[in-house]
A and B are shown apart, each in its own frame.
Chain A
């Protein structure tokens, strides 16, 4: 992929801030998953709700675990959830949306749109609940629910874009030399939906992280480890006792991550709009 999208991102102050935030948090998250940071997240101590100190930057939780380390691990978890769901949803959305747009108003289109219509009718929390019920809970149900719910938006957008491009002269020119459909789709149409996929990817990332938080809070998300949602669920207990460490750490990380992604999505979208404006 060309670094064109990076240039677009870097052009606006918002995009730059978003890039830096994602990069910084991503760096922390990858160091954590490599085992260089945040290793003390599960080790308890006897200082319940400990004060902020040199050894515990954000204090400790009820079990005496270090909140800073837990926030790091939770951020890494958020990246894992976001990446997995985004990759799945965008890949499915691009393929099925491209197919539906190319075979517009034929049976593949009807099938894809029907499936999207069915899945769109079940809100993601309820789908997650139903899947968790069917599979007896667990992470897999959460991932599956999010991917099943989130691919449809991307598919609809890609479909519309492919339909728009399909009528343009360069596609007719490709058809006129008898180029087979899947080659036209691969070489001329899908590359032109790249910008759209990037915007959708960042928005799906945001949706996935937000959904994880709520599902984990409701008890149908992650069942072990640490996540931002689990930390916030824990924080609801702490708050009644007046301890804000967990809440501030988790909501701060969550806010910075989401802000970075939203700013990046905005900057990308603006870049796309500007490019499409003259034609």
Chain B
């Protein structure tokens, strides 16, 4: 039964992978602009051009090129950056730890605080606390990420405000330097995710608290803390796991995109931004494909985790 489930879900994940690679390949390589003149000098001969086009595979039918690209992708060969000529995989491997170190504190804090505030608000539903928390999160939801970043930088990193933190740059050579550089981005990430997380966890917990088994536990004298940290949290595990896992690729790429561009941090987001603004096809293609692949893997992991968390095999 479980083996069959694993096999089925893995097969489905594989089909999704095929779908996303097909989508990105079709968009960026097949329909995308011709790369020949990006790569070649002005005064090149027709022979050189033909040679390059053959190397890029422009003379091949779609499925051949797609298959060829898939094989390269599977072997870890992501090509060379048009802009720097560097191998894309080296570029990404260098950027990934930076991004991870940048978003991890905000991601963890955002989820933990959101979960705590959400549970508390759900338990005291309708109370002043609940309304305060909800009001704060609606305000948070109504602020654009960009506005938050600009405002925080203005307030904390410029002479017009407190000027406590550096406005740009990134250093990880000592803990002090790391904390100095990571604080403002973390605050920004917290502010933008906390509203969403709190509301989501509150809704999940509020629904669970309405169930009969909670009323039964109360009728047998359960305390709020034992109830929230025990049965309620355990019953909320499926949506919580799903949300946390699903938001990993989003935070890694979408979250870091703006943060790193704005604060000049050399992570995945910065690499992506540079690729977008300079039309660097191999890098952009790699980022899009890998993010999508990561998402598919995360989905699969979430399903397995939920399967373990809930004996009934309830799926997200």
Contacts and interface: CB of A to CB of B under 8 A. Distances in A.
Interface of A: 14, 114-115, 117-127, 129-136, 206, 210, 213-214, 217-220, 229, 232, 235-236, 239-240, 242, 247, 251, 254-255, 258-259, 261-263, 266
Interface stretch (B13-21, B87-95, B179-187): B13-21
Contacts of A247: 150, 154
Contacts of A214: 144-146, 257-258
Interface stretch (B48-56, B105-113, B224-232, B274-282): B274-282
Which 6 pairs across A and B sit closest by C-beta, in order of nearness?
A118-B19, A258-B142, A259-B142, A121-B295, A121-B292, A251-B147
A103 B273 CA distance: 42
B40 interface: no
B245 to A, nearest CB: 13
Contact of A131 (B15, B27, B249): B27
A126 B296 contact: no
Given A114-B15, A130-B288, A255-B142, 8 more contacts: A126-B287, A134-B28, A214-B145, A239-B153, A251-B151, A258-B143, A258-B144, A262-B142
B144 A251 contact: yes
Contacts of A127: 288
B287 to A, nearest CB: 7
A4 B33 CA distance: 50
Interface string B73-115: 0000000000000000000000000000000000000000000
A159 to B, nearest CB: 14
Interface of B: 15-16, 19-20, 23-24, 27-28, 31-33, 134, 138-139, 141-147, 150-151, 153-154, 158, 160, 249-250, 253-254, 257-258, 261-262, 272-273, 275-277, 279, 281, 284, 287-288, 291-293, 295-296, 299
A137 to B, nearest CB: 9
B27 A130 contact: yes
Contact of A263 (B27, B32, B138, B262): B138
B103 to A, nearest CB: 14
24 contacts: A114-B15, A117-B19, A119-B23, A122-B288, A123-B250, A123-B254, A125-B257, A126-B291, A129-B284, A130-B284, A133-B27, A133-B33, A133-B284, A134-B28, A134-B32, A206-B142, A217-B146, A232-B144, A232-B146, A239-B160, A242-B160, A255-B143, A255-B147, A258-B142
B28 A133 contact: yes
A229 B146 contact: yes
B158 A239 contact: yes
A251 B158 CA distance: 19
A258 B293 CA distance: 32
Most buried by B among A115, A229, A266: A266
A262 B23 contact: no
Nearest to A235: B150
A129 B272 contact: yes
Contacts of B138: 14, 259, 262-263, 266
A229 B258 CA distance: 13
B291 A122 contact: yes
A70 B47 CA distance: 52
Contact of A236 (B33, B150, B296): B150
A245 B128 CA distance: 36
A166 to B, nearest CB: 18
B24 A122 contact: yes
A140 to B, nearest CB: 13
Nearest to B261: A218
Nearest to B207: A273
Contacts of B273: 218
B20 A118 contact: yes
A130 B24 contact: yes
A10 to B, nearest CB: 18
Contacts of A125: 253-254, 257
